[in-house]
Structure 1
Amino acid sequence: MSNTSPAVTVLLTQVATAQALAAACAMSGAKVWCVDSPIGAYAVTQPNQSGEQLAAALTALAKQAPAVLVSAHDGQIHASQWEEGAKVGDLPPGLVLDGAPHELEDLLLGQTSIDTLPDVVDASTISRFKAMRMLAKNARQYRTEKS
């Protein structure tokens, strides 16, 4: 029996809503749960989903939007910045968590679970066709708000 805790990986983004992030994740085939937050939606990887692959896919898809990948394993937290499909460099985890929603740290440290967070969107349940419709709807709403 192992003493290690399961790894938790979260991708912090500048995407406005969990719905839009889940649609983008579904388009790339990522298996994640997406959560709204005041600083932008974030994606929590489901079991057997690589955080690095998620970060590469999403930042390649949205080239103008960098993301921060934060992972916790056995009490150690690591953070890295991703842009245009590639890791740019490591970030100080304390600095990243200082500006993050409080529930994110609890989630990373295993003090809470994804089941306890409100309005979580499971990207693995969204078909690519539905994801395209969701992204088109979000784009229309964005253009309307900007007008």
Structure 2
Amino acid sequence: MAPHIRPRASSIDLLPEECEGIVAWAFQELANTPRSQTEVYAEFRNKLIALQGEIGLDFDIPHFSSFNRHNLRLGKLTKKMQRTQAIANAVVASSNGVDADKLTQASTRMLKTLLVEVMENASDEGMSFKEAKEAATAL
């Protein structure tokens, strides 16, 4: 059996905090518009270059392949969360409030499953204390 190797942080994950708004914009742009990924990447790259000039930060601009992998990963996670939400909605609709304990147990199981998936897919740094606390509070 091959040894478990932690995934490296992607070049998008390594961007400075100041770039988070641009990264979020790109994902929203891909999710909500019919624009091609190539068009969005070109604008994403231009926005990062402009940010470098404005603040004077020195960072590597991710290549298109990294941008593509990042968006595929986010897309899969978004679909998985939408599926989980649909299941939770179906459980709520089918229970009609008859058995609140079973509904609570089902919701807790779904949240635990989601939390485990998030922790498994966390980057090298893992979950921060604040994120773990927020997840525990959600349960």
TM-score scaled by structure 2? 0.27
Larger fraction in strand: 1
TM-score scaled by structure 1? 0.26
Larger fraction in helix: 2
